[in-house]
Amino acid sequence: MTLPRSIVELHDLLKNKEVTAVSLVDAYLARISSLNESLNAFNTVTDDYAYAKAKQVDETIANNPNAFEEFPLLGVIVSLKDLYLTKGIRTTASSNLLKDYVPAYSATVVDRLEKAGAIIIGKTNCDAWAHGASGENSDFGPTKNPWNTEYVPGGSSSGSAVAVAADLSLISMGTDTGGSIRQPAGFTSVVGFKPTYGAVPRYGVIAMASSLDSMGHFTHTVDDAERVFSITRGPDGRDSTVKEVEVTGSVKEKLTIGIPKEYFSEGLDPEVEKIVREAIAFYESQGNTIVEVSLPHTKYGVAAYYIIQPAEVSSNLGRYDGVRYGNDRTHFGAEAKRRIMLGTYVLSSGYYDAYYHQAMKVRTKMCKDFEAVFSEVDAIIAPVSPTPAFKIGQKSSDPLQMYLADVYTVAANLAGLPAIALPGGFSSNGLPIGFQLIAKQFDEAVLFQLGKEYQANTHWHTKTPFL
């Protein structure tokens, strides 16, 4: 069976009775079973659960003439980063501390996907507790890049990116706290969408840094990213940081796109720069206006982020004491301990003002930089990561070098902005390279319009790794 690459394609196959939901589950499970040993993308495969749901989906299609209108994600095979709580299905955060934890409730996003007709096929590997940018911090072993298994797929949502890139699920949910959706999307040639902070409920997703965490997803197409967002977004009465925002959906036909000069400075790999410049040239050729802009506090972003984020991590991981669920604190891995201690340090007496308080003020400066720029432009275009994927083991002994590579992604989290990473081409040695678009808060419609314009005229998102 040729697996669908979009929800529209999938629904055509189901409507024309070329496939059934059960046969789709067969096909995806067969692919997972042949590839997961080498890619290590899944922690848990939920085959029985998926078959039960698939049977319901096939009955719905047979009996309900409005099935596809009532259930916009009907038959969509979805995998979930193993941070999303799933009632009755093991949820580990890819950590030994939670390796046997079975939640008593599901995340809001999971409930919404299932109500919309999606079929959960499994829980994906990630850096433990979402701490990392390579997948190597998983307590269950690293996920491999399907384009070259000697390379990292990026992280922390490594298994989710790989599940979509290698067609082990049609879509996948990830989390983005400092780039954890966009960076692995760029490294594996899929679309990675990070919504505005507070657009999608965080309820039931294991928290990393609560003022930064965004619930987003991986797809092949921008159209699918928009469809999934229309299901996951909006208040749930549980996460009180979710903001009710009217979706306009209407965007002017031609837009103004800013190139932040600070994102094209030293440290940017020439092959990455070339691909971002090609995307800029594409947008200009379509009649959009391109202007240079400045985000002067960009270079302070990583330092501010690696103070605020570990501070919130140290607080959020304080609850894991092994009393109510999970194992005790001796089960934390090296990176979790590193971040808990870093966060505890910057919050501790004597250092709070110099580090944490100053970082929160720099965060204000960065928000103001974006406010000024978005008074002139509709979107910003930038690289996702300074380099393409690196080799497994290349950076794992030097945490600071790993942190510094987050320079282009953390700003959108610190300012709560929506962003989308798109496949934009390949390096000379065949590794994917992406670029990202960033918009102002709750202006996701701009990202979807620009993303669709790009994909309608380019073919990068149709490329598949040879496996």
Partner 1 sequence: MALTKQDVLHVAKLANLTLTPKEVEIYAEQLSSVVESFDELSKVDTTDTRPTSQVTGLIDIWREDVLQPVRTLTQEEALSGTEKTHNGNFVVEYVFADAD
Residues found near partner 1 in the complex (CB under 8 A): 101-105, 196-198, 211, 237-238, 240-241, 243, 297, 299-300, 302-304, 306-307, 314, 318, 321, 323-326, 329-330, 332, 334, 337-338, 340-342, 344-346, 348, 354-355, 357-365, 367, 399-400, 403-404, 414-416, 441
Question: Least separation, in Å, of the C-beta of 241 and partner 1?
Answer: 6
Which residue in 44, 163, 29, 177 sits closest to 103, CA to CA? 44
Q: Which of 243, 277 has the CB closer to partner 1?
A: 243
Sign for the CA dihedral angle at 333, 93, 302, 154 comes to positive
Give Cα 401 distance to the centre of its chain: 22
Which residue in 294, 258, 300, 289 sits closest to 276, CA to CA? 258
Which residue in 335, 336, 358, 337 sits closest to 346, CA to CA? 358
Question: Least separation, in Å, of the C-beta of 251 and partner 1?
Answer: 21
Q: Which of 72, 234 has the CB closer to partner 1?
A: 234
Q: Which of 16, 330 has the CB closer to partner 1?
A: 330
Give long-range contacts, CB 8 A cutoff, 24+ apart: 98-107: 98/206, 98/320, 98/325, 98/326, 98/327, 99/139, 99/327, 100/326, 100/327, 101/325, 101/326, 103/204, 105/204, 106/204, 107/201, 107/203, 107/204, 107/205
442: alpha, beta or left? (left if phi > 0; alpha if psi -120 to 50): left
Structure tokens, 380: 């910003």
Q: How far apart are CA 239 and CA 255, in angstroms?
A: 33
CA angle 232, 233, 237 (to 5 degrees): 100
Q: Is 67 helix (H, G, I), strand (E, B) or coil?
A: helix
Question: Least separation, in Å, of the C-beta of 361 and partner 1?
Answer: 4
Question: Least separation, in Å, of the C-beta of 349 and partner 1?
Answer: 10
Rounded to the nearest 5°, which phi and psi values hold at 119? -115, 115
Q: Which of 403, 448 has the CB closer to partner 1?
A: 403
Catalytic: which of 106, 134, 180, 385? 180
Residue 79, strand partner residues: 122, 172
Question: Least separation, in Å, of the C-beta of 441 and partner 1?
Answer: 7
Q: Which of 290, 367 has the CB closer to partner 1?
A: 367
Question: Least separation, in Å, of the C-beta of 108 and partner 1?
Answer: 11
Question: Least separation, in Å, of the C-beta of 394 and partner 1?
Answer: 17
Q: How far apart are CA 450 and CA 422, in angstroms?
A: 10
Strand order in the sheet with 214-219: 42-45, 119-124, 77-81, 171-176, 214-219, 191-194, 419-426, 432-439, 379-383, 256-260, 289-293
Place of tokens 């997972």: 32
Is 81 a catalytic site residue? yes
Is 428 a catalytic site residue? no
Is 180 a catalytic site residue? yes
Q: Which of 64, 240 has the CB closer to partner 1?
A: 240
Catalytic: which of 53, 79, 81, 138? 81
Catalytic: which of 156, 157, 160, 169? 156
Q: Which of 42, 203 has the CB closer to partner 1?
A: 203
Residues noted as catalytic:
81, 156, 180
